[in-house]
Chains A and B, each alone.
Chain A
Amino acid sequence: MSGFVRELRGAYAFIERNINLMKRYWGWEVVWLIYSLTNALAITYIGNGMGAISGQEIDTQFVVKYLLVGALVWQYLSVIFYAISEMIAWERWEGTIEYTFMAPVSRTTHLVGTTLFAIGYGVVRTLVILGIVSAFFHLDLRGANIVGSVLMLLAGSVSFVGLGILAAVLPLLYPERGAQMTNAVAAILLLISGVYYPIDTLPNWLQPIAKSSPATYVIQGMRTCLLEGGSTRTLLPTILILIGIGVAIIAVGLMIFRYVEAYAKRAGRLKRSG
């Protein structure tokens, strides 16, 4: 059997396992879907009520779309981030980590399988939320550049795969609290990346940090495509830069992951109990 076929089967193992986990924990899926949906609705209603809050005439439709783009893009990117960063946390929780790490599968294959599942899962989940939210608000997307926005989202996924790998190192290093640490990483990205407000509103000292987050560019690009109908050609440099940054983060992430895996094996941290 060729090494490639073996690795392909290995990658599919992670896709099938995650689909099975989703089926077996369907109750959790429903809970998280309701949570994400109500979150997106609540945030979008802030836009709807902005005129009433401020007592001034506001372009409500624009504000609603502005917030909704942020909510949906964040929803998608955070699914990618969590699906990858939790690849170790799940195994620790189930107690199967030693069996997966003992199998003849490279960490890259592990990651490819997890990423393919994460992208598929993220797309389906985001579309479901978009479909339901659309029933609550009249969304006029005439003139939006849908193709450009999809390209932008895919380019942004690459960076979030890399950030997910970096965050996945935490449960490997800290068996008990690593998974909680990944929540802190996601929360910081949410704060600094201009998901619900322009990054100019952040304090001066935070703005350079905001500019270093790939999510900032994904969300700006998505707004340009969907709210202003910006052409794909004008967005192409941003898309290419995002892919470049993403590839660099993945390479660094994999290098750090391999180093930390070797450390965990030396220090005996793979054991279930930690």
Chain B
Amino acid sequence: MNTHALEIEQVRKVFPRKDKTAGRTLFRRARKELVVALKEIDLTVERSEVFGVLGPNGSGKSTLIRLVSTLLLPDRGRIRVFGHDVEHDPYAVKRMINRVSVDAAFFKKFSPIENLMYAARLYGLPATDARTRMREIMTRLGLKEETFNNPMENMSRGMQQKVAVARGFLTSPILLLLDEPTTGLDPHSKRDVQAFVREIRSTHDATVLLTTHDMEEADRLCDRIAIIDEGEIVALETPSRLKELIPSQDGRPTTMEDVFIALTGRSFEDAEAEEVE
């Protein structure tokens, strides 16, 4: 039987949010409105695939990643990781996945080694193996040995994000969830992380679910891309097929950004500005 790396079937997620127009009084709680984060999402990711999810802020990308990470429960539908249901068999799922998110969340006063050792123990890795492996990964990502024992709070955003990437890879997940892993990184660090993602996929047979704002990154790394907008998938294809869908403009080749604008009716910048408002 062919088991897909990830199966998402008819998944819907709604969040209650306080209605700011309905004032709260001493005796009455503020009314809540429902915000639909994901509307009936369906997708399948194959083993060893790098699958990209493109979309502006608030489009539902991070909600999707959190649902697969077992950090959120779907209101409707099913999510399976290598055949295991995230809601009914979360421990089996947790052993197979890891996640790198845009906010490099760490114990800020701990060193990278202390933070990574905490993660390694949580995943049941033997301390000696974990120590060797974390040093290898951090060195491979371009972190210097002398920073390994310094508090994270003294490190730059880019360096912290590299430690976050190292934490994600440390446990050798077979499904790696990368939620905007290169946001805020300088071009050189971005290249390091992207090269490492490619290497991990080829050497460890890992499947990657990647969300990003970076069109070029998606184009370069992903086998297939889903464009998601307002909780719905508006297109799902290989990068080249997506670009073929949109006729070239002004004689220049179609870019992923052209695809995004054509399919969502707005530019990435507009979509993000709307979200801020």
Residue positions of A touching B, CB distance < 8 A: 1, 5-7, 9-10, 12-13, 16-17, 20-21, 24-25, 94-96, 98-106, 262, 265-268, 270-272
Contact = CB atoms under 8 A, between A and B. Distances in A.
Nearest to A12: B121
A272 B72 CA distance: 13
Given A24-B109, A94-B108, A270-B71, A105 B122 contact: yes
A104 B171 CA distance: 11
Contacts of B117: 16
B16 to A, nearest CB: 7
A249 B65 CA distance: 35
Contact of B125 (A9, A105, A268, A270): A9
B133 interface: no
Given A20-B114, A24-B110, A94-B107, A268 B122 contact: no
Nearest to B63: A268
Contacts of B80: none
A235 B118 CA distance: 41
B71 A102 contact: yes
A122 to B, nearest CB: 22
A99 B119 contact: yes
Q: For A20, A100, A106, which residue has the most chain B Cβ atoms within 10 angstroms?
A: A20
Q: For B98, B118, B167, which residue has the most chain A Cβ atoms within 10 angstroms?
A: B118
Given A104-B124, A265-B71, A265-B73, A13 B109 contact: no
B91 A102 contact: no
B99 interface: yes
A270 B121 CA distance: 22
Nearest to B114: A20
B94 interface: yes
Given A16-B121, A102-B99, A267-B15, 18 more contacts: A6-B124, A10-B124, A13-B122, A16-B118, A17-B118, A21-B109, A95-B106, A96-B107, A98-B69, A98-B99, A98-B101, A101-B71, A104-B94, A104-B124, A105-B122, A106-B91, A267-B16, A268-B72
Contacts of A16: 117-118, 121
A65 to B, nearest CB: 40
A268 B114 CA distance: 29
Nearest to A102: B69
B95 interface: yes
Contact of B107 (A10, A17, A266, A270): A17
Contacts of A100: 122
Interface string B106-139: 1111100010011101111110000000000000
Contacts of B73: 262, 265-266
B19 interface: no
Nearest to B101: A98
Given A96-B105, A266-B73, A272-B103, A10 B121 contact: yes
Q: Give the top 10 A-B pairs by smallest Cβ distance, nearest first.
A: A6-B124, A13-B121, A103-B122, A24-B109, A104-B94, A95-B105, A104-B95, A265-B73, A266-B73, A13-B122
Interface in B89-104: 91, 94-95, 97-99, 101, 103
A5 B73 CA distance: 29
Contacts of A9: 121, 124-126
Contact of A102 (B15, B16, B94, B114): B94
Given A9-B124, A98-B69, A265-B71, A25 B119 contact: no
10 contacts: A16-B117, A24-B110, A98-B69, A99-B99, A101-B71, A102-B94, A103-B123, A265-B72, A266-B72, A272-B103
B120 to A, nearest CB: 8
Contact of B109 (A5, A25, A266, A267): A25
A102 B121 CA distance: 13
Contact of B105 (A5, A13, A25, A98): A98
Contacts of B103: 95, 272
Contacts of A105: 122
B83 interface: no
Contacts of A10: 121-122, 124
A174 to B, nearest CB: 13
